[in-house]
Chain A
Amino acid sequence: MAQIRIENLRKDFGAFNAVKSSTFTVEDGEFFMLLGPSGCGKTTTLRMMAGLELPTSGEIYIDGQEVGQKPASQRDIAFVFQMFALYPHMNVRKNISYPLVSQGMPRAQVTAKVHEIAEILGITNILDRPVGGLSGGDRQRVALARAIVREPKAFLMDEPLGALDAEFREHMSEELRALHDRMGATTVYVTHDQLEAMQMGDKIVVMNHGSVEQFGVPQDIYDWPATKFVAQFIGSPPMNFLDFHGSIDAGADQIALEGITMQVPQSRHGASGALTFGVRPEHVRLDDSAPYRGRVVATEYLGTTQIVTLDTTNGAVKARVASSDHVATGVTTGLTFDPRTVTIFDAKTGQALRSEANEGVLGHG
């Protein structure tokens, strides 16, 4: 197993720039998520790690060795495709043994190894079946078995659960995570599903338009987004953005939102002009006595909580409150925001301003 280091990686397809200068490190044994909307360059980045695309510039280190221009067959990694890509003219056993055969492993050893892996994944009963008739889940297990059997340096997975239906996905994601914990293999996993990323990943890279927006552990990324894009992409519903004109001085811990003073984490930078006040829905509280007002326009019942949508002078705000609270649409109420959780963004650049609260996360990100 190995560490994977990506340095200033760039990929152009003709005039189109798919990945711009990405840098991040996947530590040995980590379950690492590459997260972003479609077309953000996450799959291209993964394919460059695999050797299926050659980078335009930059370096890829696997286990300390620069492999950027090496063919896929020499990198000793395994790849799990979204559509599984099981060899359709071979049965399950042949599919799993195929990577071993390419290494010239003796037949008896191949048979033993295939059995061992099939045991782990619980597919010994289908070893002699053709892959054509298998269910989605079994195909997925066979694809994983084919990846694992060679004991590669790392697993690269391109939306491996994307082709499964929702119910089964949940189950497979648990199985996948359990498998990872058991094998301790470095895994890079591409997904556009932020829930999946947070649920399964040790670390997440959020990409957008070919650039790395943020890189860190799920909780840090959720609590302290580096940019408005990350704040919006992660979380459901996403972070609330209250756009306002104003200013904040370095060292200040207050801002004026429509003339109402709000406590915020002490800022490390001064800024003025178009700013955005960002707060997660669960940190918004309805308090009739609060001076900042909003009118309830909708409520969504979600079981233990409900999402209340309010109209304010700075735009719509969603609050996650207990289902037991009675909230009537149409009424105007007061809003308070948990001051420890607020992030102020520069509205023009979309970057979060450093504060005492997020500097620990953004300092090294």
Chain B
Amino acid sequence: MSFSVTEPRMGTKWLAGILVVGYAIITMVPLLWIIATGFKSPNDSIAYPPVILFEPTMEGYVNLFTDRTRATPQMLKDAGPPETWYDEIAQNRGTVITGPSRYGERFLNSVIIGFGSTALCMILGTAAAYAFSRFRVPLKDDLMFFILSTRMMPPIAVAIPIFLMFRNLGLSDTHLGMILLYTAVNLSLSVWLLKGFIDEIPVEYEEAALIDGYTRFQAFYKIVLPQAATGIASTAIFCLIFAWNEYAFAVLLTSGNAQTAPPFIPTIIGTSGKDWPAVAAGATIFLIPVMVFTILLRKHLLRGITFGAVRK
């Protein structure tokens, strides 16, 4: 095929630029709104009409990370001048800080469970996908379909059996339980995606390594894995985003020990009135890891999505 490519005219370029920027702004508005709300005072956060320009305050973040108790003016006076900037913010609201909130723990749980299940998913998924791609597995097509079929029902449909199973196995409200659960849900997708990526790597590379004196495992480790890095990275992003954002199972199966951030954030509303800035602050911080992870791997993500579309 041959195409004649002409440089688009200046006007066309500008129009395209404006459209893209406009679209980007529209999609970014909710995100910016959440970030902005995190820095508003409670009054500004529920003001109508909404305020666009406001005096930023760290109150939401202070409320997110601390537990506070209401104090009488006498108690405040006895306590003396505030020692830190966050004590000052709390005291201005007539409260004193009694200790850190549980958000930090919940966030850490999210990190452990999200990245843990993603890592496990990548290890098992790559190994399974490699086997399906390279070896003569009996009933290969049936097995691949079976694996995909586990993805056809919404996972929450089996919530009750899983709940009972977890209770009997002692996996309820444990990190291991949540990691296993998210791995099980994500594994089918990762096997399928990764098999596609590995199929694209010519088998001759491994054969060359075998002949060069390497074992099958070394060939896999030194030749196939670096080649599949793009696929593994983009699959990891999909897995992480699911595990990170998952809400229903987290509500159902975790409470004290292994609760992740998503079920925790809404509970902030209940503890001390409608504290929208604190909720928004929690959501903002919660966005950061996935955003960083995706930005770090975005080169791979783009290549991953368009993989196989262009012959290199």
Contacts from A to B (Cβ < 8 Å): 50-52, 71-73, 75, 77-79, 81, 83, 85-89, 98-99, 102-103, 146, 150
Contact = CB atoms under 8 A, between A and B. Distances in A.
Nearest to A156: B211
Contacts of A85: 202, 204-205, 207-208
Contacts of B202: 83, 85
Contacts of A103: 213
B204 A98 contact: no
B207 A88 contact: no
Nearest to B226: A89
Contacts of A72: 207, 210-211
A51 B227 CA distance: 24
Task: Give the interface size bracket for B toward A.
Answer: 10 to 19
B227 A89 contact: yes
A16 to B, nearest CB: 14
Contacts of A99: 212-213
A73 B205 contact: no
Nearest to B215: A73
Contacts of A89: 226-227
> Binding site of A, secondary structure by majority: helix, strand, loop or mixed?
loop
B207 A98 contact: no
Given A87-B223, A89-B226, A89-B227, A81 B213 contact: no
Nearest to B216: A71
Nearest to A78: B211
Contact of B204 (A73, A75, A83): A83
A102 B204 CA distance: 18
B207 A81 contact: yes
Given A73-B210, A81-B207, 7 more contacts: A50-B207, A52-B207, A71-B215, A72-B211, A73-B214, A79-B211, A85-B204
Nearest to B206: A85
A89 B226 CA distance: 7
Given A85-B202, A89-B227, A102 B210 contact: no
Nearest to B213: A102
Contact of A50 (B209, B211, B213, B218): B211
10 contacts: A71-B215, A72-B211, A85-B204, A85-B205, A87-B209, A87-B223, A88-B227, A99-B212, A146-B208, A150-B212
A78 B211 CA distance: 6
B12 to A, nearest CB: 33
Contacts of A98: 209, 212
B204 A81 contact: yes
Contacts of B205: 85, 87-88
Contacts of B223: 87
B214 A79 contact: no
Nearest to B210: A72
Contacts of B218: 102
Contacts of B226: 89
Nearest to A52: B207
Nearest to B219: A73
A264 to B, nearest CB: 49
